[in-house]
Structure 1
């Protein structure tokens, strides 16, 4: 029998905030302000992905976020996702305050990550960066819920796995949900046996979290698109009265 689940850390991704900003080529909305609002509200981990095509987050965004007081005084940790390219590794080497590098395969044709680390990926480079950043930045690898993938991460010397919840989310309203949860739970058990921390991510919404947490017992769960989408709707209700008032003033 698995032990009862403890409360995981909720990590919030800022990618879609950056995407909105970049769509106008301006500084609005401000990533630093968004980060402070989240941390002031109780969030203890933030995530940005820095992809080679800079589709939302730029290298200078990572540096600026790492300099925020809420990160420097450790009220929250900053995690950076991306592929194993040299320029990103070098950025993390020279940027104090980044708590974790979430290693994720990059496939430019996809709007977001679709798969986890596999045997055909560059295992030697993963080993290199796990060793190079030891003691400064933890390495967490995004994996599909398969024991073989977990074993690859453990052999590379990484600190954690981030389980790909795509199949669970896509099958949530179908009988496939329970099969997906069982696969996630087995992969999580395997990871813990090998001394790895277990995190979970990919398109998770509020309704997905309770069953996932009970079955998988992750240390951290990551939300992003669904969180920002909900925030937009809630924000419309909050912001509209002020704009109506401003428009009616002479």
Structure 2
């Protein structure tokens, strides 16, 4: 069944608004894990707007000592180097922590959030990503590349190149599908077309020997449809198994209504229901 990894960036962002210790990240991690989530995701950025390097070290230590079976997934741009503000560089974080998974994302420092996947069109980029993946593999770290599902033909070419780079997985960018679902509903032809593109990309990845993760703007409204058990009208789409979903913003927002523990339970129940229906 699909794993749930909870991105805790927004909890850190709220804490940083007052430069204090509340909400406490360690306590939040404990609540999330004990509620049943199988992974914790962080995306430390060079501007330290939410997750800070010291948070990465603390969470890695906490998971290793208290929850050794829980996956730690660190997202970020491998090209992000050390900064004078104390950010040590993405490579340095991966080397120091050696998480179970590193999800590589081609985001720039001024982006509010990740909004596109790797292009993998230039030989230089392919070599650079391949070298990074090889370094991380030598550390025992699984790698996943953030990838777009559209346009379809180009997406499949990029996914093939991700495999050639040595990636273990891809993470499909589900943002465009989620935005269409929000604007038009799950049954709308444009939403269904975006969903079909995601699963076409997932099948191509699987046929290439890549496991498939997914993330960005997934929520309780669209998650079931994405995984295979949602609204009537999408059931004819041939779906491919998704190993893991990474969900942060929506889950933390829902926690304001339901509480963090209950919200994690709701997302797990949605995943379980979709698994039974697909």
Q: Normalization by structure 1: what TM-score?
A: 0.86
Partner of 2:146: 142
Match of 1:112 in 2: 113
Does residue 228 in structure 1 map to residue 252 in structure 2? yes
After TM superposition, the structure 1 stretch with the greater mean CA deviation from structure 2, 71-80 or 122-131, is 71-80
Structure 1 residue 69 displacement after superposition: 4.2
Deviation at 1:234, TM superposition (A): 2.2
Equivalent residue of 1:20, what SS? Answer: helix
Q: Cα deviation per residue 1:97-128 (whole Å; 9 max; x = unaligned)?
A: x1111111112333111101112573222111
Q: Residue 69 and residue 105 in structure 1: after superposition, are their counterparts in 2 closer, same or farther (change >3 A)?
A: closer
Cα distance, 1:72–1:100 mapped onto 2, change above 3 Å:
farther
Structure 1: which 5+ runs fail to align? Answer: 1-6, 239-250
Runs of 5+ unmatched residues, structure 2: 82-88, 150-154, 229-238, 263-278
Of residues 106-115 and 149-158 in structure 1, the stretch that sits farther from structure 2 once superposed is 106-115
User: Alignment partner of 1:151: what SS?
Assistant: helix
* RMSD after superposition: 1.9
Paired with 1:95 and 1:170, the residues of 2 have a C-alpha distance of 34
For residues 208 and 190 of structure 2, what CA distance do their matches in structure 1 show?
A: 27
**Residues 60-110 of structure 1, C-alpha deviation per residue, up to 9 Å, x if partnerless?**
1111100004666423111000001342112211214x1111111112333
Out of 220, 224, 238, the residue aligned to residue 206 of structure 1 is 220
Mapped to 2, the partners of 1:211 and 1:69 lie a distance apart of: 31
CA distance in 2, matches of 1:176, 1:70: 43
Tell me if structure 2 keeps the 8 A contact 1:199–1:219.
Answer: yes
Partner of 1:16: 10
**2:102–2:144: 8 Å Cα contact kept in structure 1?**
yes
Matched, 1:60 2:54: yes
C-alpha change, 1:32 and 1:116, in structure 2 (3 Å) is same
* Whole-angstrom distance in 2 between the partners of 1:180 and 1:216: 14
- Maintained 8 Å contact 2:120/2:162: no
CA deviation string 1:34-84 (max 9, x = no partner):
111111111111100011111111111111100004666423111000001
Runs of 4 or more off by more than 3 Å in structure 1? 69-73
Q: Which of 122, 125, 128 lines up with 2:128 in the alignment?
A: 125
Structural mapping, 1:1-250, within 5 Å:
7-69=1-63, 73-85=67-79, 86=81, 87-96=89-98, 98-120=99-121, 122-135=125-138, 136-145=140-149, 146-172=155-181, 173=185, 174-214=188-228, 215-235=239-259
